[in-house]
Amino acid sequence: MIPRIDDAEAAARALARAESILVITGAGMSAESGIPTFRGPDGLWEGRSVEDVATPEGFARDPAGVWQWYSDRRRNCLQTEPHAGHVALARLEHGHRAPVTIATQNIDGLHRRAGSGDVIELHGSLFTTRCSKCSHQVPEDRAFYSEPPTCEYCGAPMRPGVVWFGEMLPADRLLRAQALSQECDVVLVVGTSAVVQPVASLPLYARHSGATLVEVNPQETPLTPVCHFAFPHAAGEVLPQLVDRALAMVE
């Protein structure tokens, strides 16, 4: 199916009439706030191998160095602000009669800072910390320690609460996102390449279950040909207009 490009009125009507909305966001959403995308030309990983900073093995070799690298990322994220697209999604959640859930691949916390309440952080968060051995979770304030604290239960070093390469997504979060993708009326896919599994399958589950797919992404993705509506523009440009129209139609 060839997507109907820029059919904002019809897409907004689908959002307004929905009884359940799932929003899936990826790195492109954060890039608009100034957070570099993974492996981009100016990417955050450039100059550091993935094996050194984003694997359990890398952390085992140099826990203090990896912890400091993520501390720098936390500081960088806190120096950025949610953009108009983040704020629009929060307005959609609070202004719509239907539940609106965001399932994000991003770890920067920008959705919550923008005011969204129901956020599934599929890849974890920079601002949470867990044990590298027993996975015990600790309060968020420990994420700001200058060195990795030790676990109060087993004594192992604490690590950033993010999903690294070679690790599975948190099962409870993934299962909830999968269930929502098969129950919702509309899936809004924003700023994701639609190639990283298992998240890339969520919109396809939804389409198979009868949901309307709306994509917002300046680049065409493998998902674009199966979407009902595709908007080849930045999220900060499209989402405020789309949400304004949708909320004006909500009864």
Catalytic residue among 123, 136, 228, 233: 123
Secondary structure element (H or E) that encloses residue 30, with its range: helix 27-31
Radius of gyration of the chain (CA): 19
Burial 172-188 (b: 16+ CB within 10 A, else e): ebbeebbebbeebbbbb
Residue with tokens 């929502």: 180
Residue with tokens 């949708």: 246
What's the CA gap between 224 and 228, in Å, rounded?
A: 9
**Helix/strand number for the chain, H first, E second:** 10, 10
What's the CA gap between 21 and 187, in Å, rounded?
A: 6
Q: Is 123 a catalytic residue?
A: yes
Active-site positions? Answer: 123
